[in-house]
Amino acid sequence: MVGIDQLANAIIGGDPDETISSRCAKNQHRWYWRALGAALEWIDPGHLSRYLEEDEGRYSIYEDD
């Protein structure tokens, strides 16, 4: 399931090694990610914080120099 999630994220322009949940957690400044995040949190409270991948994706906290 994680692989399918990562594939879906890559198809919509995200990092192929990051899940949609992680991308959603990092992009709460955009209304559509905030709406998806609210839905995920309603279904599974704490979901975004549990599945945040800080080392993956465009907004990684570990920037390569």
Q: What is the pLDDT of residues 9-31, one digit of tens each?
A: 999 998 899 999 999 998 889 99
Per-residue pLDDT at 65: 41
Query: What's the whole-number average pLDDT of the chain?
Result: 87
Helix (H) or strand (E) holding 50: helix 47-50
pLDDT tens profile 28-41: 899 999 999 999 99
For residue 56, being part of any structural domain is answered with no
Residue 64 located in a structural domain: no
- Tell me, yes or no, whether 32 lies in a domain: yes
Range of the domain at 31: 2-50
- Is 20 domain-assigned? yes
Per-residue pLDDT, 62: 55
What's the structural domain count of the chain? Answer: 1
Does residue 59 fall inside a structural domain?
A: no
| pLDDT tens track for 49-63 | 999 888 777 666 555
In percent, the amount of the chain with pLDDT more than 70 equals: 88
**Among 37, 39, 35, which residue's Cα sits nearest to residue 24?**
37
